[in-house]
Amino acid sequence: MGVAAVDVRRPEQLDQVDALIIPGGESTTIGKLAAQYGIISKVRERAAEGMPVWGTCAGAIFIAKNVPAHPHPLAALMDMTVERNVFGRQIDSFEADLDMPVIGPKPFHAIFIRAPRIARVGDGVDVLATLNDGTVVAARQGRLLATSFHPELTPDRRLHEYFLSLIGGAP
């Protein structure tokens, strides 16, 4: 997509990037290591300056302001409640076609791997996609983006393009 991507592991690297994607994985591990590496306050600082941050799956958990009973520190950027593992165990992972008008009329094929759901969104948060039963699985607050699923596993680039459009754009 014409964008240089670097792995961010240390707080000072955040001064060299225009945007940050926090990927899926295991949010307890992400929270524990982020605290150990002292990166949480720097993520908060850069996000407060307007750096776009996109959290996918465990990353969405990491950027949520409210996560019931989470045992580790989190970045707590976005005004939403995210509940972990609501669809069941790893074996209950699934795929779904989502209507997502902000990226166009064609549905987005989404892969959910032991995914969380967005259980509540605050006033400044826009819901971008839901499952057929109304479960919220994508949302945006200014330059913060959260998706319950894994857009890096499908060839559709529209969400990545949408995220890039947040760099330097209106909050």
Q: Give the residues lining the site for ligand GLN (CB under 6 A).
A: 24-27, 57-58, 61, 84-85, 113-114
User: Which amino acid is present at 137?
Assistant: V
Q: How far is the CB of 113 from ligand GLN (least distance, A)?
A: 4
Q: How far is the CB of 24 from ligand GLN (least distance, A)?
A: 3
> Which residue's CB is nearer to ligand GLN, number 26 or number 97?
26
**Residue 15, SS3?**
helix
Q: How far is the CB of 7 from ligand GLN (least distance, A)?
A: 17
109 is a catalytic site residue? no
> Which residue's CB is nearer to ligand GLN, number 83 or number 167?
83
Interatomic CA distance for residues 19 and 84, integer angstroms: 25
Copy the structure tokens of residue 51: 């750096």
Question: Out of 26, 45, 95, 152, which one is annotated catalytic?
Answer: 152
Interatomic CA distance for residues 47 and 140, integer angstroms: 13
Interatomic CA distance for residues 12 and 140, integer angstroms: 26
> Which residue's CB is nearer to ligand GLN, number 8 or number 113?
113
Copy the structure tokens of residue 161: 């393009």
> Which residue's CB is nearer to ligand GLN, number 31 or number 52?
31
* CA 166 to chain CA mean position, Å: 14
Q: How far is the CB of 90 from ligand GLN (least distance, A)?
A: 8
User: Which amino acid is present at 29?
Assistant: T
12 is a catalytic site residue? no
150 is a catalytic site residue? yes
Interatomic CA distance for residues 127 and 119, integer angstroms: 11
Which residues does the annotation mark as catalytic? 57, 150, 152
